[in-house]
Structure 1
Amino acid sequence: MTSLSTKLAELEAAGKPIQVGIIGAGKFGSMFIAQSHRTVGMRLAGIADLSADRALASLKRTGFPEEKYDATASLTIEEGIKAGKTAITTDSAKLIATPGIDVILEVTGNPAAGVRHALLCCEHKKHIVMINVEADVLAGPLLARKANEAGIIYSMAYGDQPALIAEMVDWARTAGFDVVCAGKGTKHLPQYHYSTPDTVWNYYGFTKEQLATGDFNPQMFNSFLDGTKSALEMAAVSNGCDLSPPSDGLRFPPCGVWDLPAVLKPESEGGQCEKKGTVEVVSCMEKDGRWVFNDLRWGVYVVIEAPGEYQRECFKQYGLKTDPSGRYAAQYKPYHLIGLELGVSIATIMCRGEPTGQTKTWAGDVVATAKRDLKAGEKLDGEGGFMVYGKLMPAEDSIAIEGLPIGLAHGIVLKHDVKKDQRLSWADVEYSDKAQAVSVRKEMEVLFRKEFVSKKVNGADGANSTR
């Protein structure tokens, strides 16, 4: 990445800055907006949000220069590009269709919206950074193929943990190492699976002053706490790096950075992973609530294996923390800055023609799982709500049980009673095939069901175990 800033400077000097459109002015979007006007060779051409007032508030809150945006929200995107000002619209389709836009940032967090916007980007030939992991896990394996057919780049978001993990996995494989495990850290205890928007702030410990800033949505933050977001992110990593999800969901083992190689090696060798070549999320809290020493709450990691005695000696000579055998070592990044780093994705796409991580296969899925006993006739309230959380599982297993993806578990009515901790299926809910997100997901299931059968017939494995 050492030449990206130079290449951006060249675009600036040539009077051809990258024109960026962002859909969604929430927390992640605001973090990018805060940096966008500081990045040479890049322009924030337009913001699309259902609320123009929210978009304006984001610009003001993040310190965006007043002379660089249209405070009246009356300019069209085209007029804004000509005037060198960020325009605001409530029509995301118009933003995507604008000829001068180079890259679209999808930051809505809404799975159906994410699918719609990705397909529009294919239609209008706009590169897309899919910050919407909910949409990426719901239908990303198919959307990435459609994007490739359309000649556009469909990318993970640099700064978000899946892309940073994918970068570390790529580093390891490029250096000739097998990947034993890859993932991230978070704050998790088993009881958090059943957290609701009413309990989330007590678990998180945010102050009233922090909550008063307006950047904190209780249902969104609860999706982080109850394990759903971790499941989605690890499904994205599985799909982008060809790694296997655990067969019965994430285990969230308590683990500090120095213990990563010992904890995240195969069970057959004293670790807590089912096998090599998997994903996992480590918790910064012991099961009794104590904080883990030297935790990785905000970071990402990859565990690698020394392929021979010579490499194992090198690990020792250069001070790597390893497991007691010296075979397994870890590299980690202690923090991620999400939207503040997002410009790296834009620059990589436009200057190098490459994504910063991308869905390649369908290895992992996230299925809606009951937080409590649910009754027929109840309407599901989706990710981070009161009724279901998302559980990571192998995609082939999800297909076998006809699992209901967490991304579609919102606003649909239950046909049957469902017990606490039971995974929901399509048969448990009323739904319409005419809904675009449902239709695209069903299309993907049909496609991959055939491919899974073909792999078995040809004797091929699912997710690649190490490489």
Structure 2
Amino acid sequence: MFGINDRIRKHSETYGPIRVAVIGTGAMGGALVDQLTMARGMEAEVVVDVDLHRAAEVLAAAGFMENRIARCASLEEAEAALAVGKKVIATKPEIAWGLPQIDCVVEATGNPTFFADVALATIAAKKHLVTFNVEGDVLVGNILKKKADDAGVVYTGIHDDEPGVVKALYDEADALGFEILAAGRHDYGGGDAKWNKENVGAYLKNVSAGAVQRNSALFASFVDGSKTNEECCMIANATGLEPDIRGMHGPAVTFSEVAQRVPQLLDSRQNGGILSRTGVVERIIPAEGPHVQPVWCFVVVRIRNELQRVFMNSMSGLGNLVDERSPLGSAAGAQLPPSPTGKSTVGIFYTPYHYVAIQAPISIAMAVIDRQVTIAPLTNGKRYADVMALTKKDLLEGEVIDEIGGLCVAGRVEKARIVSEGNFLPFALARGATMKRAVSKGEYLTYDDVVLDLANDRLVALRREQDVLFPPA
């Protein structure tokens, strides 16, 4: 990412601005359109939404007058509008990837079924694809990454959603040669499956984020743990880390103790931590409760010498962990002496914020200019994690499963091998499925429990193709 501003400037001087089509104008897509009006060397040229009025409102909020906006029903109309400097709004997504002027398509709908259709068509049209859709990525990201690679285009998640933040921290720590013990993010809802779209209002009264989460089901998907588990799954498949246990441990830590406690906790049990093994994805719960919503994206590493220990503990910004009984040795970088407790020393790379749509244009620029992904599944032919569907209530025969954040299921991350061996139903395929038999609350659904929604046929076919080409690690 270093020097991306200079590379954007040079690209703009040589080729003109990066021309972007945004599909979906909810909280993320709408904010991205506005941010692209500020970002250097990039333009939101096409905005697609099922609600044309909402698409127009998004452009108007970004400062475009009505006479600069063209409502287009065909590629021909859209090309003509772009030629005279107008912004295009449309309900047909094919306009986004069908226009030769467009360099990059951004998918921001949150619907995994629609995401798969958009992704396949965008890649086939040889356009770069940047997506906010974590749910879709953890289901079929491996196969889409392969198809994009084969087509010579970029498929990537976004910069500064939590998975992208963690991947940047991971890459830095890995490049520096550290042994990585754990990587992950906060889970401010605590992962309690009791929350759903109908009762989450009680939770929202205690949190400031309610002001920006107009969709109760979407917000419930955060506080019932589904989003955190999906995002940690995305991190796992992009790094080769795995969950230690199903759903992860989720220890509670106060914000003021992050730099001290997270490294201590996320080490192996033999070193005084809570993990049965290292090299894992993990989540941390704010001990202060739902009224506190810090963002902790972190990577925990093994510290090898005293100099690393001094810098990574005393300069972490949240406290000093340097053991006074083990002062800095005479030789800078000297190996650590054995700890009086026998425990290894650990450190943390972390960041306390993520700005999602505000910083997402960086991923667009990296894709178009550098042909570089922000976060995407590894290309080594393996999958490391999947997300399973945990029942939130007793499900009856014939009942249709509702959306993420709804009444029926929550997502929990597990090793891909265990999901495959148990024939467990991927979380993103549960939506719209019909129960073949009754299943009690607290159980994990299998393929044998449901009839999948016919609307998901293409998504299911992609998943089956992925299962063959990308077996569990």
TM-score (norm 2): 0.87
Task: Return the offset for 1:227.
Answer: 0.4
- Partner in structure 1 of residue 143 of structure 2: 142
CA distances 1:442-462 after superposition (whole Å, capped 9, x unpaired): 22123334xx4xxxxxxxxx3
Q: Note if contact 1:189-1:285 (Cα within 8 Å) is conserved in structure 2.
A: no
Q: Secondary structure, in 3 states, of the residue corresponding to 1:261?
A: helix
Q: Is the 8 A contact 2:107 2:131 kept in 1?
A: yes
Q: Is the 8 A contact 1:312 1:326 kept in 2?
A: no
Q: Read off the aligned partner of 1:236 and give its amino acid letter.
A: M
Secondary structure at the residue paired with 2:248? Answer: coil
Name structure 1 gaps, 5 residues minimum.
Answer: 453-461, 463-467
Please state if 1:381 is matched with 2:378: no
Match of 1:238 among 227, 236, 239: 236
Distance 1:234 1:329 in 2: 20
Distance 1:229 1:375, change over 3 A: same
Query: Per the alignment, in what secondary structure is the counterpart of residue 69 of structure 2?
Result: coil
Residue range with higher mean Cα deviation, 86-95 or 311-320: 311-320
Within 1, Cα distance between the matches of 2:408 and 2:181?
A: 34
Q: Which residue of structure 1 lines up, in the alignment, with residue 330 of structure 2?
A: none
Distance 2:197 2:460 in 1: 26
1:300 and 2:297 correspond: yes
Q: How many residues align?
A: 442
The answer on whether the counterparts of 2:313 and 2:322 sit within 8 Å (CA) in structure 1 is no
Matched, 1:112 2:113: yes
Does residue 420 of the first structure (1) align with residue 441 of the second (2)?
A: yes
Out of 225, 231, 246, the residue aligned to residue 227 of structure 1 is 225
Distance 1:446 1:209 in 2: 41
- Does residue 343 (structure 1) correspond to residue 377 (structure 2)? The answer is no
1:165-218 deviation line (CA, Å, top 9, x unaligned): 00000000111111111111131235x31211111121122689965x8x5111
> Where does residue 469 of structure 2 map in the other structure?
447
Structure 1: distance between partners of 2:209 and 2:126: 43
Deviates further, 235-244 or 69-78: 69-78
* 1:405 CA displacement: 1.2
Are 2:131 and 1:130 equivalent residues in the alignment? yes
Q: Classify 1:323/1:222 alpha carbon distance in 2 versus 1 (closer, same or farther; 3 Å).
A: farther
Give the percent of matched residue pairs that are identical in Structure 1 and Structure 2.
Answer: 29
Assess, with a 3 A threshold, how the Cα gap between structure 1 residues 169 and 91 changes in structure 2: closer, same or farther: same
Question: Out of 279, 283, 286, which is 1:284 matched to?
Answer: 286
Q: Kindly indicate whether residue 64 of structure 2 is the aligned counterpart of residue 65 of structure 1.
A: yes
SS of the counterpart of 1:368?
strand
Deviation track 1:55-107 (CA, whole Å, cap 9, x = no partner) reads: 1222234x333278406557833234323332111111221121111111111
SS in 2 for 1:194: coil
- Of stretches 425-434 and 398-407 in structure 1, the one that deviates more from structure 2 is 425-434
Rounded to whole Å, the distance in 2 between the matches of 1:188 and 1:110 is 22
Structure 1 210/174 Cα, relative in aligned 2: closer, same or farther at 3 Å? closer
Residue-by-residue CA offset, 1:218-244 (whole Å, 9 max, x unaligned):
111111111000111000000011111
Determine if contact 1:77/1:95 at 8 Å carries over to the other structure.
no
Distance 2:50 2:31 in 1: 18
AA in 2 matched with 1:196:
N
Deviations 1:409-454 (A, max 9, x none): 11121001111111101100012688100111122123334xx4xx
Q: SS of the residue aligned with 1:167?
A: helix
Q: Deviations over 1:128-179 (max 9, x none)?
A: 1121011101110111111111111111101211011000000001111111
Partner of 1:260: 262
Retained in 2: the 8 A contact 1:67–1:85? no
Aligned to 2:158: 157
Report the 3-state secondary structure (helix = DSSP H, G, I; strand = E; otherwise coil) of the residue aligned with 2:377. Answer: coil
| 1:32–1:343 contact (8 Å) kept in structure 2 | yes
User: In the aligned structure 2, how far is the partner of 1:208 from the partner of 1:302?
Assistant: 27
TM-score for the superposition, normalised by structure 1: 0.88
The alpha carbon displacement at 1:323 in A equals 8.8
The separation in 2 between residues aligned to 1:42 and 1:371, in whole angstroms, is 43
Alpha-carbon distance in 2 for matches of 1:429, 1:323: 54
Question: Which of these two proteins has the greater Rg computed from alpha carbons?
Answer: 2
Shift of 1:308: 4.2
Give yes or no for the alignment of 1:402 onto 2:462.
no
**Residue matched to 1:356:** 374
Change in 2 beyond 3 A, CA 1:52/1:260? same
Q: Is the 1:380–1:413 contact (alpha carbons within 8 Å) kept by the matching residues of 2?
A: yes
d(CA) in 2 for partners of 1:88, 1:346: 20
| Cα pair distance change 1:203/1:32, threshold 3 Å | same
Distance in 1 separating the partners of 2:108 and 2:16: 25
